[in-house]
Amino acid sequence: MIELYSANTPNGIKVPIALEELGVEYRLITVNLAADEQKQPAFLSLNPNGRIPLLVDFSTPDGVPLNLAESGAILLYLAQTYGGLLPDDFRPRQRAMEYLFLQVASIGPMFGQAGWFLRSAAQPIPVAIDRFRNESLRLTALLEARLQKHPWLAGDEYSLADIMHFSWLRIAHYAGIDLARFPALSAWVATINARPAVQRALARFQN
């Protein structure tokens, strides 16, 4: 049995999508971020970092529940545990890992900071807006170039790398990016968005 504490955010939707793609049963516990539920003692006892998503797997080999945070770590754990979302062949598998870590280290932080300085800062800070939006644009162009040559980030196979990036690219406007300028990425986002597992995952937050 898996319990997932999450919310309808770019990082929060990654794990439900992966679980739906893998066909793994789970209980979704929606965390009210606006009410700071992720900062309350009950949540902090599970994840001291006070962030979503948080997965609790009660079906571990040693019988001791596993609390696991950080979306990249969770998706890698699910892929390795349940057998999917990672190519079997050596080179595509390593490429999937490369793009997984690119999202964790670059796309997520840059898009998040660009969006915050564009929309949430008390007053405009042009140097910060330019810094993070320009880097977000550079990274978007990097992904566009990859997807002009390959259908998926790992190559010929849909993987956890695509899920990781999709969650942010589907709301690229948040970081001040017009996705219409990137046709391969736009088509890739639309294709992933139409996947039944993705639709099921997104619907879970509407219930």
- Within 8 A by CB and 6+ apart from 198, the residues are 17, 20, 21, 166, 192
pLDDT digits (tens, 9 = 90+) for 46-55: 999 999 999 9
Q: Is the pLDDT score of 29 beyond 90?
A: yes
Q: Give me the chain's average pLDDT, please.
A: 97
pLDDT at 14: 98
Architecture of domain 90-195: Up-down Bundle (1.20)
Residue ranges covered by each domain of the chain: 2-84+197-204, 90-195
Question: Percentage of the chain with pLDDT > 70?
Answer: 100
Question: Percentage of the chain with pLDDT > 90?
Answer: 99
pLDDT band at 207 (very low <50, low <70, confident <90, very high): low
Q: Is 45 within 8 Å of 33 (Cβ atoms)?
A: no
The amino acid present at 170, given as its one-letter code, is R
Q: Is the pLDDT score of 74 beyond 70?
A: yes
Same fold: 2-84+197-204 with 90-195: no
The amino acid present at 139, given as its one-letter code, is L
pLDDT at 206: 85
DSSP 65: -
Euclidean distance between CA atoms 181 and 72, whole angstroms: 28
CATH topology of domain 2-84+197-204: Glutaredoxin (3.40.30)
pLDDT at 3: 98
pTM reported for the whole predicted model:
0.96
Of the candidates 104, 98, 44, the residue with the CA atom closest to the CA atom of residue 73: 104
Mean pLDDT for 53-60 is 96
Mean pLDDT for 140-163 is 98
pLDDT digits (tens, 9 = 90+) for 81-140: 999 999 999 999 999 999 999 999 999 999 999 999 999 999 999 999 999 999 999 999
Euclidean distance between CA atoms 149 and 151, whole angstroms: 7
Q: Is 161 within 8 Å of 99 (Cβ atoms)?
A: yes
Euclidean distance between CA atoms 202 and 21, whole angstroms: 12
Euclidean distance between CA atoms 48 and 52, whole angstroms: 11
